[in-house]
Amino acid sequence: MQILMITPRIDEEHDLLGFIVTWVNKLAEKVEKLYIICMGYGKAYLRKNMEVYDLNEKSNKLTKAKYFIKLMFSILPKVDVIFCHMYPEFTLMVAPFAKIFGKPIVTWYAHRHVNWKLLIAHSLANKMITASKEGLRIQSSKVIITGHGIDIERFKPVTNLNVKEKDRIIILSVGRISPIKDYETLIKAADLLVNEEGMRNLEFIIVGGVPMKSHAKYYEKLREMVSELELENYVKFMGFVSFKNITDYYYQSDIFVNLCPTGSADKAVLEAMACGKPVIVCNETYRSLLRPYDNICMFKYKDFKDLAAKLKGLITKKYLWTEMGEHDREQVIKYHSLTHFLDLLVKIFREVSA
């Protein structure tokens, strides 16, 4: 089986999209040939049965369009399935050529928003796949839930002895600096625990860059909050961390917190769970995964007092950390592992190309 995959970027050092390199290498193990068209090509070790074409090599929209059309006529006659990853626009771009050559389209989407581009992509694709039911809010027989594809060999409980002993409990949050991440609720909870409750043995680590210029003001607002609340010694922004180095932060942490509202499953939460860390979330998508610990580790969205209470409660229940971590990892392996995802994906490819 030969596949064309259209994806945003191939770059193992990218903080948000570095996981794609692992995905494509593992997928290439299961197919005869994997062609990839991307919008950026950085550092990556790739298998020999893969060919990568970077549209960003071209200088402007016109030359990119000409290059894309050329690729369509050279690649599509050879492939069995087109796999459009993440952006509905990719499905819209490739659909006319898929029609010409009679090739099925499988589209991946995992986001809480439904817009006109997604609706059109849904009408054009043969199958739509997503990480969870909340990640593709279209009621359709085309939609298949595959899990998030977490590499459980990379994200696993630490077993080496290089993790240093520490005198603080580290509370970690990973994700780009953006209002949807609601970091102000975490900072307010830190203020309540540190300044009002006197819990001086806590450290809050926020890992994530500011990928959009429009969010720079939000980042400055967060830093001002930390300064005004005199939390500089307790809340730390680590900035951009490459995908290949992010596991170091999971290993050093004790508790992982995610503050996003209910929507698609945030990959960072599943990575922390795969590392055997207890997590605290407000996204209802995770409730079934976290049972029977959901009442301990779920708080009300934007409710910093409830978050502080859940953190304090979990900190006082250290005896549960290992048990919860083992449970979390088992859930990721069962429903969201890369092996689980790719087995389903290849099965879907075979069905739509039959």
pLDDT digits over 231-288, tens only? 999 999 999 998 889 999 999 999 999 999 877 778 999 999 999 999 999 999 899 9
Contact between residue 308 and residue 193 where contact means Cβ atoms under 8 Å apart: yes
Q: Give the residue-averaged pLDDT of 297-323.
A: 95
Tokens representing 120?
A: 């059109």
Predicted structure pTM score: 0.90
Instruction: Count Cβ atoms below 10 Å from residue 334 Cβ, excluding itself.
Output: 11
Q: Is the pLDDT of residue 203 over 90?
A: yes
Q: What is the DSSP letter of 180?
A: G
pLDDT interval class at 10 (50, 70, 90): very high
Q: Is the pLDDT of residue 212 over 90?
A: no
Amino acid in the structure at residue 150: I
Across the chain, mean pLDDT equals: 93
Tokens representing 238?
A: 């680590």
Report CA dihedral (162, 166, 171, 175) to the nearest 10 degrees.
Answer: -40
- Percent of the chain at pLDDT > 70 equals 98
Q: How far apart are CA 123 and CA 128, in angstroms?
A: 10
Tell the CATH topology of 2-149+338-353. Answer: Rossmann fold (3.40.50)
Tokens representing 113?
A: 């928003």
Q: How far apart are CA 17 and CA 38, in angstroms?
A: 12
Sign, CA torsion 353/100/31/56? negative
Which of 107-116, 152-161, 167-176 is modeled with the greatest confidence?
Answer: 167-176
Q: How many helices (H) and strands (E) does the chain have?
A: 13, 12
Write phi, then psi, for 5 (nearest 5 degrees): -115, 130
Contact between residue 173 and residue 256 where contact means Cβ atoms under 8 Å apart: yes
Which residue has 């592992």 as its token pair?
337
Contact between residue 1 and residue 353 where contact means Cβ atoms under 8 Å apart: yes
Distances in Å between the Cα of 284 and the Cα atoms of 256, 314, 334 are 16, 19, 19
Strand order in the sheet with 50-54: 50-54, 33-38, 2-7, 81-85, 105-108, 127-130, 143-145
Sign, CA torsion 290/293/297/300? positive
pLDDT interval class at 161 (50, 70, 90): very low
Q: Give the residue-averaged pLDDT of 148-160.
A: 88
CATH 3.40.50.2000 domain locations along the chain = 2-149+338-353, 169-335
pLDDT interval class at 158 (50, 70, 90): confident
Q: Is the pLDDT of residue 317 over 70?
A: yes
pLDDT at res. 162:
54
pLDDT at res. 265:
77
pLDDT at res. 303:
97
Q: Is the pLDDT of residue 124 over 60?
A: yes
Task: Provide the greatest CA pair distance for the chain.
Answer: 67
pLDDT at res. 164:
55
Q: Is the pLDDT of residue 194 over 60?
A: yes
For the 169-335 domain, the top CATH level (class) is: alpha beta
Q: How far apart are CA 164 and CA 334, in angstroms?
A: 31
Locate the DSSP E strands across 76-126: 81-85, 105-108
